[in-house]
């Protein structure tokens, strides 16, 4: 059995990896879509606007993110800026790649799990997700939060007891096998992303495995974020053209977070 790779010891590199993973995962998910709705959100625009919004307000403000997407010609694939006039039309359930916004939210609330859960709940509501998928976003934040703090994958994916919520989310949080009725849900994507992230540390290999398994599009985004947060930019080769811009956003978000950077410097938590 291969030894488990050590997590990235530098918090800044983990933050950079998280943003890179969100972008890479979204690109992979988008390339696999066979029926691209003209209403599908551009995940790269969502990622950048979410980060810039968090930097401006020093917290996540859902209405500001929506406003930024409304005024951006690139916010939707194939539509103009008038396409986001009503929430009912503008935030379709068909595209779950909006979850790239989880990356800047988790960076902004690094080390504060309750704040992250609150902001991810708001994110899910803003994009009109089902109650179960909103819960799944909150679980995602818990896993990513552990990775950002420098823990190895055994601790990152330690089971979470999820009481009083959706059964599929509870199974995904606890690391159990999901029944067939959970297919297509964000909880199913969490299970798929967790499975590949427990086996692989390099994004290209993980992406091929997800494609072979016909994973949910959102599983690509989740796996990219998890691998990036655990192993930093070394998971991604070659680096994408937007790597430098994403690194700058990650640095800004990390500096604006309440976490004590000195306490994370060079720390190894590879258990």
Q: Which residues touch 129 (CB under 8 Å, ≥6 apart)? A: 93, 96, 137, 186
- 40, with CB counted inside 10 A (0-12, 13-18, 19+), is buried
pTM (2 d.p.) = 0.88
Please write the tens of the pLDDT for every residue from 68-95. Answer: 988 876 555 544 444 444 333 344 444 5
Across 215-242, average pLDDT: 94
Q: What is the pLDDT of residue 79?
A: 44
Domain 11-258 CATH (choose: 1.10.4080.10, 1.10.150.300, 3.30.360.10, 3.90.45.10): 1.10.4080.10
CA–CA dist 180, 63 (Å, integer): 35
Angstrom CA distances, 1 to 5, 191, 199, stand at 12, 22, 11
Q: How much is the mean pLDDT over the chain?
A: 85
Q: What is the pLDDT of residue 2?
A: 61
Q: What is the pLDDT of residue 7?
A: 84
Q: What is the pLDDT of residue 111?
A: 84
Structure tokens at 162: 């999820």
Please write the tens of the pLDDT for every residue from 244-261. Answer: 999 999 999 998 877 665
Please write the tens of the pLDDT for every residue from 188-214. Answer: 999 999 999 999 999 999 999 999 999
Across 164-175, average pLDDT: 93
CA–CA dist 113, 161 (Å, integer): 15
Q: Quick check: 71 and 81 in contact, CB under 8 A?
A: yes
Across 145-152, average pLDDT: 95
């Amino acid at each position: 059995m291969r030894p488990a790779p050590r997590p990235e010891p530098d918090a800044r590199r983990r933050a950079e990896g998280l943003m890179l993973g969100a972008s890479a995962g979204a690109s992979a998910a988008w390339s696999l879509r066979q029926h691209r709705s003209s209403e599908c959100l551009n995940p790269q625009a969502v990622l950048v606007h979410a980060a810039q919004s968090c930097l401006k307000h020093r917290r996540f403000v859902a209405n500001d993110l929506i406003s930024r997407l409304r005024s951006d010609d690139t916010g939707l694939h194939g539509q103009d800026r008038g396409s986001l006039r009503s929430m009912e039309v503008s935030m379709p359930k068909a595209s779950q790649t909006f979850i790239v916004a989880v990356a800047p939210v988790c960076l902004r609330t690094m080390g504060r799990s309750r704040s992250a859960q609150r902001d991810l709940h708001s994110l899910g509501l803003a994009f009109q997700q089902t109650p179960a998928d909103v819960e799944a976003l909150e679980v995602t934040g818990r896993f990513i939060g552990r990775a950002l703090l420098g823990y190895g994958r055994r601790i990152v994916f330690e089971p979470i007891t999820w009481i009083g919520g959706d059964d599929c989310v509870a199974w995904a949080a606890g690391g159990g096998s999901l029944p067939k009725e959970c297919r297509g849900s964000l909880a199913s994507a969490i299970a798929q992303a967790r499975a590949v992230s427990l086996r692989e540390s390099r994004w290209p290999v993980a992406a091929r495995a997800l494609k072979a398994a016909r994973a949910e599009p959102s599983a690509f985004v989740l796996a990219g974020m998890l691998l990036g947060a655990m192993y930093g930019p070394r998971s991604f080769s070659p680096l994408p053209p937007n790597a430098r811009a994403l690194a700058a956003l990650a640095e800004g978000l990390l500096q604006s977070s309440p976490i004590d950077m000195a306490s994370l410097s060079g720390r190894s938590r590879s258990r």
